[in-house]
Amino acid sequence: MSRWEKLKRNPRAAWAAFILIAVLLAVLPFLADTLLSRSWVRIIDFVLLYIILALGLNIVVGFAGLLDLGYVAFFAVGAYLYALLASPHFGIHLPFWALLPLGAGVTCIFGVLLGAPTLRLRGDYLAIVTLGFGEIIRIFLNNLNAPINITNGPQGVNKIDPVSFGGFSLNQSHQLFDINFPSVHNYYYLFLALTILVIFISMRLQDSRIGRAWVAVREDEVAAKAMGINTRNIKLLAFAMGASFGGVGGGLFAGFQGFISPESFTLIESIMILCMVVLGGMGNIAGVVLGVVLLVVLPEALRYIGPFEQALFGRVIVDPADLRMLIFGLALILVMLFRPAGLLPSTIRKREFEAEDEVEAQNGARA
């Protein structure tokens, strides 16, 4: 029996662990602020934002097995929707509570629109088509500033309204019980709430009828169809759900940053999010969260290479900003070489890999 199962059967210990985690999450920004620095609170905010995005992609790639390399398109659509409807660019200032569901809805439609033509495709082909869609959306965002200025082109949209509820703006510090909550802390709590919601939705989806249908489609589409699953609808649903998570993430990103430009929505970003999903362990929610934490925190932590180089060689030989992407790439290669199923593979997937080996061995024997 694993430690996790022991914990499950011991309600008191489970509650204690639960409360411990809850308290830790509640005070995390203050801990990071005092122990590290204010910029680390911002990094934690980004971890939460990326968890929302990665869990969205996990529905498409991890659950339904549809390799999507253009996921950032939905992130971009959500962000631009928020930016255009809540900034001086068009002079429209819709409130946050209206924009969040609107963003989810519009990107959901985009998900279906982009998903529909790709239904017949599989594997690599699907990956390339989604990649193409992602690039097309980015190129349009980059160029739709003439003759009618819609997206403001490469300059991007700035002065985006911060997230606010009525008169309560998250961009200002607030005092509560004599504790000062700066802007990044406010966003932390908003993002945390939404992240928990998204994790909850993902967990419920995973074991639901829909979630099992996705797994069936992932494993064998023909068999799934024979079992009475409407594979077309179920695949479209995966695209739509994943896209709406991306759209919500995009809206949050726009409000949090206050500025967006097409630069933020390149293919590299899609690939990063995919790496988060795969590195941690596809289809496993805890794995995805771990992947996000690693891939967001690692490049930031690698900023400390500069002083290290200084100490080792007496001078900075290579700019740490250049070096950290290099190390990041190496880390991706090494993790995949030693743990090809991800750091925390889901139990079903793990079983599949083992089974696949057996099938392969049999095939080899037959051939």
In the list 7, 109, 150, 332, the residue contacting another protein (rule: CB under 8 A) is: 332
Q: Which is nearer to another protein, 145 or 164 (CB)?
A: 145
Q: Which is nearer to another protein, 230 or 319 (CB)?
A: 319
Binding mask 31-70 for another protein (x = CB under 8 A): ----------------------------------x-x---
Q: Which is nearer to another protein, 55 or 131 (CB)?
A: 131
What CA–CA distance (Å, rounded) separates 343 from 293? Answer: 12
**Which span sits near another protein by CB under 8 A: 16-24, 49-57, 231-239, 275-283?**
275-283
Least Å from the CB of residue 343 to another protein: 12
**# residues near another protein by CB under 8 A:** 55
**Which span sits near another protein by CB under 8 A: 29-37, 190-198, 307-315, 327-335?**
327-335
The CA-atom distances, in angstroms, between 225 and each of 60, 205, 206, 218, 221 are 18, 20, 19, 11, 6
Tell me, rounded to whole angstroms, the distance of Cα 225 from its chain centroid: 30
Backbone angles phi, psi at 164, to 5 degrees: -145, 150
| Strands annotated E in the chain | 86-87, 92-93, 157-158, 164-165, 168-169, 174-176, 179-181, 259-260
318 binds another protein (CB under 8 A): yes
Q: What share of the chain is helix, strand, coil (3-state, %, to 5)?
A: 75, 5, 20
In the list 13, 17, 21, 139, the residue contacting another protein (rule: CB under 8 A) is: 139
Tell me, rounded to whole angstroms, the distance of Cα 38 from its chain centroid: 23
Q: Which is nearer to another protein, 38 or 212 (CB)?
A: 212
Q: Tell me if 55 sits within 8 A of 77, measured CB to CB.
A: no
In the list 28, 109, 113, 128, the residue contacting another protein (rule: CB under 8 A) is: 128
337 binds another protein (CB under 8 A): yes
Among residues 99, 94, 62, the alpha carbon closest in space to that of 77 is found at 99
In the list 7, 25, 109, 129, the residue contacting another protein (rule: CB under 8 A) is: 129
Q: Which is nearer to another protein, 127 or 243 (CB)?
A: 127
In the list 88, 101, 307, 340, the residue contacting another protein (rule: CB under 8 A) is: 340
In the list 36, 39, 124, 193, the residue contacting another protein (rule: CB under 8 A) is: 124
Query: Taken in order 357, 218, 247, 271, is the CA torsion positive or negative?
Result: positive
Q: Which is nearer to another protein, 16 or 361 (CB)?
A: 361
Q: Which residue has the tokens 């599949």?
A: 352
Q: Which residues pair with 180 in a beta bridge?
A: 175
Q: Is 260 left (phi over 0), alpha (psi -120 to 50) or beta?
A: beta
Q: How many CB atoms lie within 10 A of CB 156?
A: 21
What CA–CA distance (Å, rounded) separates 367 from 362? Answer: 9
Q: Which residues pair with 350 in a beta bridge?
A: none
Binding mask 347-366 for another protein (x = CB under 8 A): ------x--xx--x---x--
Among residues 80, 98, 97, the alpha carbon closest in space to that of 89 is found at 80
Q: Which is nearer to another protein, 185 or 218 (CB)?
A: 218
Among residues 52, 43, 47, the alpha carbon closest in space to that of 248 is found at 52
Least Å from the CB of residue 264 to another protein: 17
Residues of this chain, 215-274, that bind another protein according to CB under 8 A? 218, 221, 267, 271, 274
In the list 278, 288, 295, 344, the residue contacting another protein (rule: CB under 8 A) is: 278
143 binds another protein (CB under 8 A): yes
What CA–CA distance (Å, rounded) separates 215 from 227? Answer: 13
Task: Return residues touching another protein (CB under 8 A).
Answer: 65, 67, 117-118, 120-125, 127-129, 131-133, 135-136, 139-140, 142-143, 146-147, 218, 221, 267, 271, 274-275, 278-279, 282, 318-319, 322-323, 325-326, 328-333, 336-337, 340-341, 353, 356-357, 360, 364, 367
